[in-house]
Structure 1
Amino acid sequence: MRLFPLVMMAALALVAPRESTAAPDLLQTTTKKPTTQKPPARKPAAKPAPRRPAAPPVPKLVAEAPAIQCPQVLGMGVGSKLRFCDVMTSLVPSEGILIRFSPHKGPLKLSFDLHNRHTYSEQETSAGRGYAQYTATIGVLTMDGKLLGRGVVQSEFRSARDLFDRISGGAGPRGVKAVAPTGIERIVMEVPEGVDEVSVLGEKLSVVTLAGANLFTAAQRPIAVVSNFSAEYTAAPAKTSPAATRKRVARAPTKR
């Protein structure tokens, strides 16, 4: 009976080393470090699209009736309601029909109606003696005397139906004047940039009647009639005064 405890102690002594040596192996197999996944690589940020420069403003095209200074006003048309001006022969721009324009960029297109000038007589027309053929030549000049262009109108008169219009304010029948525009020619020409005023002057008038032919060139004689002026141009940009520029600079915020 005394030998049994000794045998048990010996058996335990033999088993104990095996357990102590196996424990580290068990720890090694159960204490592995957890693996971590790498985050996905970030894509580079997309570059913003380059800004397109703003389109330049579209030039403003203006069509208007220019300011007219007419030394010899023939009168208002009964049918057309237009104002008619006599064109006088002269070589001095200040003596002509003055046309003033607004500031314009590039050339300006000037247009107007050119008519011949007829003195109507019911008696002569009824008698078959009223025929007349007119050829009037006028010029458009700058105020320093440079010729920009000429206009010519040619027409024939046989009866009252050949009159373009009658002029109100006369002492004749129906309150119209004897002088009336006849025929029509639309005159169109360019006015250069920087020219803001021109003059319309008469140059010569050729008249053929049953009595013969005549050429008129003497100064200060009415040889034609004009009406219905129009100007088409691109408006010039507004000029900025130095005072306004200084004011904007003074108000500009300072960078910090």
Structure 2
Amino acid sequence: MLKIVLSVLTVAVAAGLSAQVSTTEAVEVWCPSVLGVGIKTEVPFCDVEVQRDPSFGVLVILPPHRGDATLSFSLHNRHTYSEQEVRDGQAYAQYVASIAVATMEGQIVAKGVVLGEFRAVGDLFDRVGGGAGPDEIKAIAPMGSERVFVTIPEGLEEVAIVGQSLDVVRPQSHDTFESVGRPVAVVSNATVTYNPR
């Protein structure tokens, strides 16, 4: 498992007239399946796989916090790009990926969905380096972006992001994937806003 930090942002904001300070910072993420780093954004992308056991999901370690904290991350569809399909007019695909944020005991804290449609390379959010071809760009790429916000209660300092299902519509097919281990989405840019203890 590889540990990555999905963002580099630290902001301190005064909370009204009180002495409390709310902090927003990158959150520690343990990613069991790293898609790679974006060529344009230079952001690490982490695959979200269907899992029934949260310990096999994307683990998010939260700092100790007073009161509720807010975890946020970008959720992307996952598309396999083919230049040939684009040239042949056969590239259209619609994706609906469903994920859950769960405690390590399996209690669901929140759910998220990202919907995206692919027609041409401009629909991709980014391309990822490390591929086998001459341009070293992977065929798998994040597509679209939906910001997900999750309220994390005080005392909860570790959650998992797990895939639930993926629905794919193409001109000649309609498939639903729910098998354990199947990548269904991609996450990036995870941050947490909280009041430190």
Flag whether TM exceeds 0.5 (same fold).
yes
The aligned counterpart of 2:131 is 170
The reply on whether 1:153 has 2:153 as its aligned counterpart is no
SS of match in other structure, 2:86: helix
TM-score by length of 2: 0.90
The aligned counterpart of 1:120 is 81
Give 5+ residue unaligned stretches, structure 1: 1-55, 237-256
The aligned counterpart of 1:227 is 188
- Which of 88, 101, 104 does residue 65 from structure 2 map onto? 104
Give 5+ residue unaligned stretches, structure 2: 1-16
1:138-189 alpha-carbon deviations (Å, 9 max, x no partner):
0000111110000000010000000000001112242210000011100011
* Larger RCO (CA under 8 A, 6+ residues apart): 2
The aligned counterpart of 2:32 is 71
SS of match in other structure, 1:167: coil
The aligned counterpart of 1:210 is 171
Structure of larger gyration radius: 1
The reply on whether 1:136 has 2:92 as its aligned counterpart is no
Q: Residue type of the partner of 1:144?
A: E
In 2, the alpha carbon distance for the partners of 1:114 and 1:172 equals 27
The reply on whether 1:189 has 2:150 as its aligned counterpart is yes
Q: Kindly, what percent of the aligned residue pairs are identical?
A: 47
In 2, the alpha carbon distance for the partners of 1:118 and 1:209 equals 12
SS of match in other structure, 2:39: coil
Contact kept, 8 Å, 1:172 with 1:178, in 2: the verdict is: no
The aligned counterpart of 2:3 is none
Q: Residue type of the partner of 1:227?
A: S
The reply on whether 1:81 has 2:42 as its aligned counterpart is yes
Tell me how large the CA RMSD over aligned residues is.
1.1
Q: Residue type of the partner of 2:145?
A: I
Q: Residue type of the partner of 1:91?
A: R
TM-score by length of 1: 0.69
Q: Select the structure that is richer in strand.
A: 2
Moved over 2 A (4+): none
> How many residue pairs end up in the alignment?
181
